[in-house]
């Protein structure tokens, strides 16, 4: 299952909330945390990273990783943090609304 | 934030740096994750790239760069397209510059001319008399509520002396609010403040035209405050008008401006200013805010009707007031331009369409050579939209280049209109058409419009390519060519049709010009020289002036080779119309019947010198002088209208307050236009009714160049200071009306351009389709077809297209040339000889255009052709 377009950006922001990650790290974190329910193609993730960067919500820097490799690390900016808060609130009310309508699992069939 | 980042990424070096960075990044990630784990990384980077900047803009840049490379590579193709378009765009922008310089900018140097209207009174015609007397104007100024202000002016020649050689200038009497109403800001000094015209004789001040300030006073920066002599009366210069400002009459130049109250002093006419019956002032008004032309016209009509009731004897004839916007003001040049320029604009647009059709054809033909390229690009995933954009980019570049060439061309051609207008002693033309921002903008809008016409169809057609078939197909282009050559054929048909229309229009004007030369003016204009001189600025009184005129006639008559000589204060078939109120003995005018009749003061032997036949009585004689019996000659039209065939000799008419005996009847001639209806006319002896500003008319078989110095010497023997000006031949005066000449010349040259374009287009299409069929022709020849039949087939293909074009063109011409009806002379819009001649010409040209490809086709070697491609 692939997340919707705007959703992916929100998930990336949330993933970066706890600290800087490189591109592969973000992909892994997304996959791990969704218990592999969400399959995020790197082909979609990477343009999303650039999009967020252009919007100024995340920034990137070449750094050396734990395994002593050079990699580009992304971290949230102040604007990104604000955006995450806003998106989270919107998503929460949206999810609650959907849940209310959907209710418990339909019976039968 | 995003905007600025994207903006900086439009810079190629910034974008390339980011791209390199991304490449490095995914490379490092691939090492981390292992090959293949992250999927198609190239695509990921490609998609991410599109986030960096506005992708469509970037692609546009790419398309343009690619287009430049393609166009530079096909340099001769590019030059041909650019020049063809430049002709079409240049034709259009030239006319736009003329319209801009005349109709849209009727009074250069004045502000907000949209609110200014021109007031006419009386019958509308293309040379109306100045509509108002000074007392009428003062009343109207006081009573109206529609205008911010009403101004009056009158142009007349004056002598500028006290500054070296005496010169004849065009002075303009104006009401003192003239400059303020027009909102003209002086280049130096000041303009009239508004109280100079307080009383008759007041306001001995003048404002100079910028050009006169430069030419006569060397641009002297301390000119303000200096006193000059106008008609030998001292006048103080208070300012210089801005460079563009030539006066309030469109296309007519004033050299200096004087308060109207100086008329009794400078011109010395004590009657004109206070007389309510003398209409001599042109009137313009600036509409008050919120007042429309229609409501203002209603108010002015009501006010004028009141004046007519109060002073019926001073307001005969029609008194209907009409307000015109300046672009079609009946006074000055715009009355001609408003009729002429729209016709020329339509013609120019036709030329533009033709040029577009030609370039579209060239584009279509060229896409054949690029079919492989197009097919390959489509096959590797390029979208059709992208390809169309690519072709359009080329078209836009060519159009912009064409627009630039056209702008340069227009810088030169914009001045041509002024050169086409005749110089005349009766009026000083002041047209200064320049290429301004408006013209340049219009040129490029026209250029982009042309892109739409010539670029879009070929672009769409070109991308209709089946990639697989095209790449496989080694024989080349038969299938794909058919549709294309059909479009190309349609374009050629259009071209032939349009150029037929243009050539027919041009032909009709050429016939008008011919007719005009055949139409007799009623006198013999050949072998006559004219030379003007004006005695008033030279300080002559009526008695000394008459003496000089008489003596000069005697001297010139004695020159070798001179058959006859006379003089006149008016020349037939020029710009000016001189009329006056005449009372006729024994004729009772109906109520409001206008008794304004054409009049001229002429010297002895006038009718004999012009070879204007006389029906009865005698010519003006040297013995008709002041103090003796006042006499007049009328023409046949006059006699028939007012005396209904009774013998006019001995009857009396009253002109300028004096009863005169008719002593002769002249045959009616043409006085203003060669095709005018018979017009009553009165001739008075100039030695009896003095006028200082006259033209000497000399009939002689001697060449003008040889005669002129002798005449000038005769003048200078009598007065060495007297300038002689406007030396000319009578037959150049009796030219076809300016309109037909200009229209004929321009539509004619447009027609020739269109003929050239159409024949090139025809040639290109026939040559192209023939080359495309080389393979087929080779097979047919190998099977025994004879070269003649191949030749005939190619020619007939070309002629078939021409034939269809001719039919469409003839239909168009019959329908559209109707609009020219009013401008033609002695020829109807459906003039069979013109149509036949033009159609024949086109067929011949078409045949010649087909000849080269036909010969080439007939010479095809079957073996070569079969190996073709």
Cα A58 from Cα A42, distance rounded (Å): 18
CB contact under 8 A, A50 and B1: no
Tokens of B449: 């419009």
Is residue B162's pLDDT more than 80? no
Q: Identify the closest residue of chain A to B27 by CA–CA distance.
A: A71
Q: How far is B64 from chain A (nearest CA, A)?
A: 26
The pLDDT assigned to B454 comes to: 83
CB contact under 8 A, B47 and A42: no
Three-state secondary-structure class, residue B175? coil
More confident residue, B241 or B167: B241
Cα B698 from Cα B717, distance rounded (Å): 18
Q: pLDDT band for position B190 (50/70/90)? A: very high
CB contact under 8 A, A43 and B44: yes
The pLDDT assigned to B485 comes to: 65
**Residues near B850 by Cβ (< 8 Å), separated by ≥ 6?**
B762, B763, B766, B794, B795, B797, B798, B799
CB contact under 8 A, B29 and A23: yes
Of A40-54, A63-77, B81-95, B808-822, give the range with the top mean pLDDT.
B81-95
Report the interhelical angle of A23-33 vs A42-55 (nearest 10°): 110
Distance set, CA B660 to CA A90, B614, B650, B653, B657 (Å): 105, 19, 9, 5, 10
The pLDDT assigned to B738 comes to: 59
Nearest to B634 by CA among B621, B652, B622, B656: B652
Question: What is the tens place of the pLDDT at every residue in B628-638?
Answer: 899 999 999 99
Cβ atoms of B458 and B360 closer than 8 Å: yes
Cβ-Cβ contacts under 8 Å, B5 against chain A:
54, 56
The pLDDT assigned to B740 comes to: 66
Residue with tokens 């027009």: B182
The pLDDT assigned to B70 comes to: 85
Lowest mean pLDDT among B401-405, B685-689, B722-726, B864-868: B864-868
The pLDDT assigned to A4 comes to: 58
Among the partner-chain residues A46, A54, A71, the one whose CB lies closest to the CB of B44 is A46
Strands (E) across B624-729 are located at 631-635, 652-655, 658-666, 681-685, 693-700, 724-729
Nearest to B648 by CA among B692, B609, B622, B616: B616
Among left, alpha and beta (phi > 0; psi -120 to 50; other), residue B247 is left
Q: CB count, 10 Å around CB of B186?
A: 19
Is residue B781's pLDDT more than 80? yes
CB contact under 8 A, A42 and B28: no
Nearest to B125 by CA among B253, B317, B285: B317
Q: pLDDT band for position B739 (50/70/90)? A: low
Q: How far is A95 from chain B (nearest CA, A)?
A: 29
Distance set, CA B437 to CA B348, B400, B444 (Å): 20, 16, 11
The pLDDT assigned to A2 comes to: 55
Cβ atoms of A64 and A86 closer than 8 Å: no
Among A8, A26, A54, the strongest candidate for a mutation testing the B interface, having the largest count of B CBs within 10 A, is A54
Tokens of A31: 């996959």
Cα B329 from Cα B118, distance rounded (Å): 6
Cα A36 from Cα B177, distance rounded (Å): 90
Q: pLDDT band for position B736 (50/70/90)? A: very low
Q: pLDDT band for position B384 (50/70/90)? A: confident
Average confidence (pLDDT) over B555-562 = 92
CB contact under 8 A, B2 and A70: no
Q: pLDDT band for position B472 (50/70/90)? A: low
Nearest to B361 by CA among B443, B424, B455, B248: B455
Query: Tell me, what's the ipTM?
Result: 0.84
Question: What is the tens place of the pLDDT at every residue in B651-704?
Answer: 999 998 899 999 999 999 988 777 778 899 999 999 999 988 899 999 998 888
The pLDDT assigned to B477 comes to: 45
Question: What is the tens place of the pLDDT at every residue in B281-308?
Answer: 999 999 999 999 999 999 999 999 999 9
Residue with tokens 């028939």: B640
| % of chain B at pLDDT higher than 90 | 31
Full pLDDT tens readout for chain A, 109 residues = 555 557 888 889 999 988 888 888 898 888 888 877 777 888 888 988 988 998 889 999 898 877 777 889 999 999 999 999 998 998 899 889 989 999 888 877 5
Nearest to B283 by CA among B260, B261, B316: B260
The pLDDT assigned to B188 comes to: 93
CB contact under 8 A, A54 and B26: no
CB contact under 8 A, B31 and A41: no
Is residue B480's pLDDT more than 50? no
Three-state secondary-structure class, residue B561? coil
The pLDDT assigned to B180 comes to: 94
Cβ atoms of B684 and B601 closer than 8 Å: yes
B456 burial level (CB within 10 Å; 0-12, 13-18, 19+): middle
Cβ atoms of B837 and B506 closer than 8 Å: no
Average confidence (pLDDT) over B549-555 = 93
Cβ atoms of B552 and B718 closer than 8 Å: yes
Tokens of A53: 């960067």
Question: What is the tens place of the pLDDT at every residue in B303-360?
Answer: 999 999 999 888 877 788 889 999 888 888 887 888 888 888 988 998 898 889 888 8
**Residues near B215 by Cβ (< 8 Å), separated by ≥ 6?**
none
Residue B725, beta-bridge partner list: B532
Q: How far is A99 from chain B (nearest CA, A)?
A: 34
Strands (E) across B122-252 are located at 147-161, 167-174, 188-189, 205-208, 227-230, 233-240
Is residue B479's pLDDT more than 60? no
Is residue B426's pLDDT more than 90? no
Among A22, A50, A51, A73, the strongest candidate for a mutation testing the B interface, having the largest count of B CBs within 10 A, is A50
Q: DSSP readout, B341-379?
A: HHHHHHHHHHHHHHHHHHHHHHHHHHHHHTHHHHHHHHH
- Cα torsion B407, B408, B412, B417 to 10°: value is -10
Among A2, A42, A78, the strongest candidate for a mutation testing the B interface, having the largest count of B CBs within 10 A, is A42
| % of chain B at pLDDT higher than 70 | 93
Q: Does B840 touch chain A (CB under 8 A)?
A: no
Q: pLDDT band for position B165 (50/70/90)? A: low
Average confidence (pLDDT) over B813-819 = 85
More confident residue, B511 or B261: B261
Residue B531, beta-bridge partner list: B696
The pLDDT assigned to B712 comes to: 86
Three-state secondary-structure class, residue B227? strand
Among the partner-chain residues B21, B28, B33, the one whose CB lies closest to the CB of A70 is B28
Q: How far is A88 from chain B (nearest CA, A)?
A: 22
Q: pLDDT band for position B734 (50/70/90)? A: low
Residue with tokens 């042309």: B450
Distance between start and end Cα atoms, chain A: 24
Residue with tokens 């023409």: B635
Query: Strands B614-617 and B579-584, how do they pair?
Result: unpaired
Helical segments of B155-281, H only:
178-182, 210-217, 263-266
Report chain B's mean pLDDT, rounded to a whole number.
85
CB contact under 8 A, A56 and B38: no
Query: Strands B205-208 and B233-240, how do they pair?
Result: parallel
Is residue B127's pLDDT more than 60? no
Is residue B476's pLDDT more than 50? no
Q: CB count, 10 Å around CB of B364?
A: 22
Is residue B715's pLDDT more than 50? yes
Q: How far is B18 from chain A (nearest CA, A)?
A: 10
Residue B160, beta-bridge partner list: B167, B230
Distance set, CA B843 to CA B796, B804, B835 (Å): 11, 11, 12
Distance between start and end Cα atoms, chain B: 56
Q: pLDDT band for position B577 (50/70/90)? A: low
């Amino acid at each position: 299952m692939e997340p919707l377009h705007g959703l992916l950006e929100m998930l990336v922001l949330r993933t970066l909330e706890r600290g800087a990650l490189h591109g592969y790290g973000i992909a892994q974190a997304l996959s791990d945390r969704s218990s592999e329910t969400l399959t995020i193609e790197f082909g979609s993730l990477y343009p999303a990273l650039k999009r967020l960067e252009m919007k100024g919500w995340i920034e990137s820097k070449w750094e050396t990783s734990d395994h002593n490799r050079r990699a580009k690390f992304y971290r949230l900016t102040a604007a990104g943090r604000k955006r995450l808060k806003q998106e989270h609130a919107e998503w929460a009310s949206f999810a609650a609304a959907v849940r209310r309508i959907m209710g418990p699992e339909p019976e039968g069939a | 934030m995003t905007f600025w980042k994207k903006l900086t990424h439009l810079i190629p070096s910034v974008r390339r740096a980011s791209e390199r960075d991304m490449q490095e990044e995914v490379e490092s990630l691939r090492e981390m994750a292992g090959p293949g784990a992250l999927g198609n990384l190239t695509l990921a980077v490609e998609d991410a790239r599109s986030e960096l900047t506005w992708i469509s803009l970037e692609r546009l840049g790419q398309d343009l760069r690619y287009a430049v490379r393609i166009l530079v590579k096909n340099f001769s193709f590019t030059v041909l397209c650019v020049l063809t378009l430049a002709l079409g765009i240049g034709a259009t922008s030239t006319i736009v510059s003329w319209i801009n310089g005349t109709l849209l900018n009727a009074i250069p140097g004045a502000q907000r001319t949209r609110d200014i209207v021109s007031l006419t009174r009386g019958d509308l015609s293309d040379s109306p008399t100045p509509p108002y007397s000074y007392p009428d104007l003062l009343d109207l100024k006081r009573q109206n509520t529609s205008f911010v202000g009403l101004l009056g002016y009158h142009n007349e020649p004056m002598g500028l002396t006290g500054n070296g050689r005496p010169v004849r200038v065009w002075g303009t009497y104006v009401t003192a609010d003239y400059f303020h109403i027009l909102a003209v800001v002086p280049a130096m000094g000041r303009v009239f403040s508004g109280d100079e015209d307080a009383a008759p004789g007041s306001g001995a001040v003048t404002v100079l035209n910028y050009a006169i300030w430069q030419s006569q006073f060397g641009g002297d920066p301390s000119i303000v405050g200096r006193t000059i002599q106008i008609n030998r009366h001292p006048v103080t210069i208070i300012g210089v008008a801005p460079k563009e400002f030539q006066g309030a009459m469109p296309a007519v130049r004033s050299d200096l401006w004087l308060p109207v109250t100086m008329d009794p002093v400078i011109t010395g006419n004590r009657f004109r200013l206070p007389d309510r019956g003398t209409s001599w002032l042109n009137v313009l008004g600036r509409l008050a805010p919120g007042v429309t032309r229609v409501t203002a016209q209603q108010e002015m009509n009501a006010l004028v009707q009141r004046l007519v009731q109060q002073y019926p004897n001073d307001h005969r004839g029609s008194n209907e007031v009409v307000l015109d916007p300046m672009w079609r003001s009946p006074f000055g040049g715009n009355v001609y331009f408003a009729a002429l320029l729209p016709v020329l604009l339509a013609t120019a647009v036709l030329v533009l369409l033709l040029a577009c059709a030609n370039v579209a054809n060239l584009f279509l033909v060229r896409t054949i050579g690029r079919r492989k390229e197009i097919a390959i690009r489509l096959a590797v995933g390029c979208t059709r939209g992208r390809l169309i954009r690519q072709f359009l980019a080329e078209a836009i570049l060519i159009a912009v280049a064409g627009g630039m060439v056209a702008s340069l061309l227009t810088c030169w051609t914009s001045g041509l209109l002024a050169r086409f207008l005749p110089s005349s002693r009766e009026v000083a033309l002041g047209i200064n058409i320049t290429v301004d921002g408006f013209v340049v903008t219009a040129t490029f809008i026209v250029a982009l419009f042309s892109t739409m016409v010539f670029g879009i169809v070929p672009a769409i057609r070109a991308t209709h390519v089946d990639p697989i078939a095209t790449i496989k197909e080694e024989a080349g282009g038969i299938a794909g060519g058919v549709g294309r050559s059909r479009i190309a054929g349609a374009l050629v048909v259009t071209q032939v049709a349009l150029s037929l229309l243009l050539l027919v229009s041009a032909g009709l004007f050429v016939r008008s010009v011919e007719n005009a030369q055949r139409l007799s003016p009623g006198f013999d204009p050949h072998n006559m020289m004219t030379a003007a001189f004006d005695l008033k600025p030279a300080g002559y009184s009526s008695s000394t002036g008459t003496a000089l005129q008489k003596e000069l006639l005697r001297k010139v008559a004695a020159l070798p080779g001179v058959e006859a000589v006379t003089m006149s204060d008016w020349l037939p078939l020029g710009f000016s119309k001189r009329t006056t109120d005449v009372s006729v003995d024994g004729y009772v005018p109906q109520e409001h019947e206008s008794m304004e009749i054409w009049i001229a003061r002429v010297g002895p032997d006038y009718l004999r010198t012009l070879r204007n036949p006389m029906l009865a009585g005698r010519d003006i004689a040297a013995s008709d002088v002041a103090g003796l019996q006042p006499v007049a000659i009328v023409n046949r039209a006059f006699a028939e209208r007012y005396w209904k065939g009774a013998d006019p000799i001995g009857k009396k008419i009253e002109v300028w307050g004096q009863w005169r005996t008719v002593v002769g009847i002249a045959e009616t001639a043409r006085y203003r236009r060669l095709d005018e209806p018979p017009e009553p006319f009165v001739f008075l002896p100039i030695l009896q009714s003095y006028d200082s500003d006259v033209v000497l008319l000399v009939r002689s078989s001697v060449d003008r160049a040889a005669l002129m110095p002798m005449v000038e010497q005769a003048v200078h023997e009598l007065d060495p200071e007297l300038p002689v000006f406007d030396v000319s031949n009578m037959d150049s005066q009796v030219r076809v009306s300016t309109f037909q000449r200009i229209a004929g010349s321009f539509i004619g040259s447009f027609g020739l351009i269109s003929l050239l374009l159409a024949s090139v287009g025809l040639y290109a299409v026939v040559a192209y389709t023939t080359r495309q069929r080389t393979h087929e022709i080779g097979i047919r020849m190998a099977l025994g077809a004879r070269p003649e039949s191949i030749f005939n087939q190619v020619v007939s293909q070309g002629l078939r297209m021409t034939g269809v074009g001719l039919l469409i063109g003839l239909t168009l011409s019959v329908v559209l040339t109707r609009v020219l009806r009013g401008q033609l002379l002695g020829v109807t819009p459906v003039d069979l000889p013109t149509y036949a001649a033009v159609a024949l010409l086109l067929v011949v040209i078409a045949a010649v255009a087909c000849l080269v490809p036909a010969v080439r086709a007939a010479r095809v070697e079957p073996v070569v052709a079969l190996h073709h491609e």
